[in-house]
């Protein structure tokens, strides 16, 4: 059988983990890449052996050989590129968050319905093996009736300075491009998706969010931003200017969100702290996430996701006086991308919907926005209030 031909639109930072999804993929190959940054595009095409490289996504969508695309761009471009791709008859895997607002989510859902093509939002944490194991244990009744979930996020530093391309940061702190809320919207969308997957639908949310300039933290981390060249690794080339983060770049951390599940006395908590005094040794970004599930008979702890700060077995369960450790699984965070993309291509072949559906992606966005509105107005907010 001929392999599906996939096009990647946006080949910036995170796309290198997407590329891993096509290395040993039995059903699909990376056929084309697209980015407005021509130098980066050529480098990626060579590195990954892509047959076509386009600087305009419309050219990629006009290529009849492309069966499916992945959209991996800044958030304000998700809806336009996603709808155009579906209208061009391509299946679509959209990076999180699905879009900027509910209207855009509806446009994507409607375009997918009209086209009859597969549309999914890639939520890689749903494929992270320790979280998948925790879900299996929970669903098998291993800790009894589920009662609550606690999610902890730590953003720290690697303990040495980075040279970060300005473009990777600038759009994230520009509300018109990111949708606003580096933590509660962009990063938080992972954890609200996980909270729904593990324990069910969310009825209402309450939160506290602190907004503060990120500049002092970046300075502590030794981060120097570079304007003029994208995707620099190591030292800057000639003619590039190192810049400090502007004061108006606000990080929405520390923050806490709490929620109640629908039709049940079940609760969730999500807490984030950002302190670059904490060293987080990581192959990826210096942040880590832990999940604690409580049931009527015991607990399940997932002790890592992006990094392995705690250096404990990835899954630990306590039940009936006995602690059991589970280490027989892949723990590299990158594995969640590979599994998530294999699920996408397998879903296309088998006519099966992979996670997340467009409707689920929209609810995740509504929960993130509900948390932001709650902090602003000091009241409980139901996700469906967000229109």
Residue 37 Cβ, how far from ligand NAD at the closest point, in Å?
A: 4
- In three-state secondary structure terms, 217 is helix
Residue 378 Cβ, how far from ligand NAD at the closest point, in Å?
A: 28
- CA 372/CA 366 separation, integer angstroms: 10
DSSP-derived secondary structure letter, 1: -
Residue 165 Cβ, how far from ligand NAD at the closest point, in Å?
A: 8
Whether the bond between 355 and the residue before it is cis, its omega within 30 degrees of 0, is: no
- In three-state secondary structure terms, 289 is strand
Q: Which is nearer to ligand NAD, 151 or 317 (CB)?
A: 151
DSSP string, 332-351: -THHHHHHHHHHHHHHHHHT
CA-based torsion, 175, 181, 186, 192: positive or negative? negative
Instruction: Tell me how crowded residue 41 is: count the other CB atoms within 10 A of its CB.
Output: 18
Whether the bond between 245 and the residue before it is cis, its omega within 30 degrees of 0, is: no
Burial 124-163 (b: 16+ CB within 10 A, else e): bbbbbbbbbbbbebbeeebbeebbbbbbebbbbbbeeebb
Q: Which is nearer to ligand NAD, 55 or 323 (CB)?
A: 55
DSSP string, 169-216: HHGGG-HHHH-S-IIIIIIHHHHHHHHHHHH--EEEEEEEE--EESHH
Using CB under 6 A as the criterion, which residues of the chain lie in contact with ligand NAD when the complex forms?
Answer: 9-15, 34-37, 40, 57, 72-75, 77, 95-96, 124, 167-168, 186
* Beta-carbon-side half-sphere exposure of residue 69 (alpha carbons within 13 Å): 32
CB of 312 closer than 8 Å to CB of 303: yes
Q: Which is nearer to ligand NAD, 40 or 341 (CB)?
A: 40
* Beta-carbon-side half-sphere exposure of residue 8 (alpha carbons within 13 Å): 28
> Which is it for strands 28-34 and 4-9: parallel, antiparallel or unpaired?
parallel
Residue 177 Cβ, how far from ligand NAD at the closest point, in Å?
A: 9
Angle between helices 102-115 and 78-87 (to 10 degrees): 10
Q: Which is nearer to ligand NAD, 14 or 250 (CB)?
A: 14
Q: Which is nearer to ligand NAD, 167 or 366 (CB)?
A: 167
Nearest residue to ligand NAD by CB is 12
Residue 171 Cβ, how far from ligand NAD at the closest point, in Å?
A: 6
Residue 41 Cβ, how far from ligand NAD at the closest point, in Å?
A: 8
Q: Which is nearer to ligand NAD, 85 or 363 (CB)?
A: 85
Residue 73 Cβ, how far from ligand NAD at the closest point, in Å?
A: 4
Q: Which is nearer to ligand NAD, 186 or 343 (CB)?
A: 186
Residue 211 Cβ, how far from ligand NAD at the closest point, in Å?
A: 19
Quote the tokens at residue 188. Answer: 């938080």
Residue 245 Cβ, how far from ligand NAD at the closest point, in Å?
A: 15
Q: Which is nearer to ligand NAD, 146 or 188 (CB)?
A: 188
> Which is it for strands 91-95 and 119-122: parallel, antiparallel or unpaired?
parallel
Q: Which is nearer to ligand NAD, 137 or 302 (CB)?
A: 302
Q: Which is nearer to ligand NAD, 186 or 217 (CB)?
A: 186
Q: Is 366 left (phi over 0), alpha (psi -120 to 50) or beta?
A: alpha
Residue 118 Cβ, how far from ligand NAD at the closest point, in Å?
A: 19
């Amino acid at each position: 059988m001929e392999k599906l031909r996939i096009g990647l639109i946006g080949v910036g930072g995170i796309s290198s983990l997407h590329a891993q999804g096509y290395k040993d993929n039995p059903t699909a190959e990376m056929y084309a890449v697209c980015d407005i940054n021509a130098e980066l595009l050529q480098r990626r095409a060579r590195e990954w052996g892509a047959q076509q490289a386009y600087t305009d996504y419309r050219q990629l969508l006009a290529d009849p050989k492309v069966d499916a695309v992945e959209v991996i761009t800044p958030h304000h471009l998700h809806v336009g590129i996603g709808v155009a791709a579906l209208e061009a008859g391509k299946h679509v895997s959209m990076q999180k968050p699905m879009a900027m607002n509910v209207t855009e989510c509806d446009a994507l859902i409607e375009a997918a319905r009209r086209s009859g093509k597969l549309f999914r939002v890639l939520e890689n944490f749903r494929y992270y093996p320790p979280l998948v194991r925790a879900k299996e244990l929970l669903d098998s009744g291993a800790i009894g009736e589920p009662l609550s979930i606690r999610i902890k996020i730590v953003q720290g530093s690697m303990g040495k300075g980075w040279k970060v391309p300005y473009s990777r940061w600038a759009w994230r702190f520009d509300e018109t491009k990111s949708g606003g809320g580096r933590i509660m919207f962009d990063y938080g969308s992972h954890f609200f998706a996980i909270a729904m997957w593990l324990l069910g639908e969310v009825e209402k949310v309450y939160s506290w969010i602190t907004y503060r300039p990120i500049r002092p933290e970046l300075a502590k981390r030794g981060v120097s931003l570079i304007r003029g060249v994208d995707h620099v690794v190591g030292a800057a080339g000639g003619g590039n200017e190192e810049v400090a983060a502007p004061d108006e770049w606000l990080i929405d951390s520390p923050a806490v969100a709490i929620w109640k599940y629908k039709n049940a006395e079940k609760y969730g908590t999500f807490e984030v702290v950002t302190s670059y005094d904490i060293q987080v040794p990581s192959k990826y970004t210096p942040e880590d996430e832990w999940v604690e599930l409580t049931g009527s008979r015991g607990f399940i702890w997932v002790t890592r996701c992006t990094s392995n700060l705690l250096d404990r077995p990835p899954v630990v369960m306590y039940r009936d006086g006995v602690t059991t450790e589970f280490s027989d699984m892949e723990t590299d965070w990158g594995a969640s991308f590979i599994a998530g993309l294999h699920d996408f291509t397998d879903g296309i072949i088998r006519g099966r919907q992979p996670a997340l559906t467009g409707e689920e992606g929209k609810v995740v966005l509504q929960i993130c926005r509900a948390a932001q509105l709650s902090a602003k107005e000091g009241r409980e907010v139901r996700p469906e209030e967000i229109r």
